[in-house]
Amino acid sequence: LTSLLSMKKIIKIILIIVFSLLILWFLIRLISPREIDDFSPGISCENETKYVKKSEYLWVIPKIQDNKISENPEWCKEILSLNKTLGMHGISHTYHEFELKNISQEELNFGIKEFEKCFGYAPRLFKPPYLHINKQNKKLITQNNLILKYRFNQAIHKVYHCNNSGTLDNKIINWF
């Protein structure tokens, strides 16, 4: 009987800890800056304007298919005028681009140069597409003085997607 009572106390303590951690996580997400992924002139964000306004960080894709961001100077000016923190989100945002393929320095340089041509400065922040990156590419990113943001960053921030293309609907992310 005593061991049963002890087990109930342990379970109760574990449940209190788990519940407390969930509340803490929710509060951190509530006060953390918001972000929006998949920003590019090739991806419509018109329906997501309210989320763009709420977001402090915009994760920009330097090239979608054959469209380079630097080829759209009006878009570049418009994004700069929003006065947001901009980061690079892959190079062309292909499926697991930074996990399944070892990116060369030349490929990364291309993405950095596109970002720089568009915004007038090199990116300081980097988030891999789909939040997947292999060890070699992590090393390449840090060697180029880019600050890598991915899974933990995604867990503590509300991250919306242009064209509502994320795993969860932007309305659900906004609520949670």
Greater confidence (168 vs 23) lies with: 23
pLDDT of residue 95: 83
Q: What is the CB neighbour count within 10 angstroms for residue 53?
A: 11
* Burial grade of 96 (CB within 10 A; 0-12, 13-18, 19 or more): middle
Cα radius of gyration rounded to whole Å, the chain: 20
Q: Which residues pair with 159 in a beta bridge?
A: 35
Is residue 55 classed as helix, strand or coil in its secondary structure? strand
Is residue 29 pLDDT above 80, yes or no? no
Phi then psi for 118, rounded to 5 degrees? -75, -50
Is residue 78 pLDDT above 70, yes or no? yes
Phi then psi for 102, rounded to 5 degrees? -85, 115
Beta strands per DSSP E along the chain: 34-39, 55-60, 63-64, 67-68, 85-88, 125-126, 147-148, 159-161
Is residue 27 pLDDT above 90, yes or no? no
pLDDT of residue 165: 66
Is residue 156 pLDDT above 80, yes or no? no
- pTM above 0.75? yes
Mean pLDDT comparison of 25-29, 87-91, 96-100, highest-scoring range: 87-91
pLDDT of residue 5: 73
Lowest model confidence (mean pLDDT) among 20-34, 69-83, 125-139: 20-34
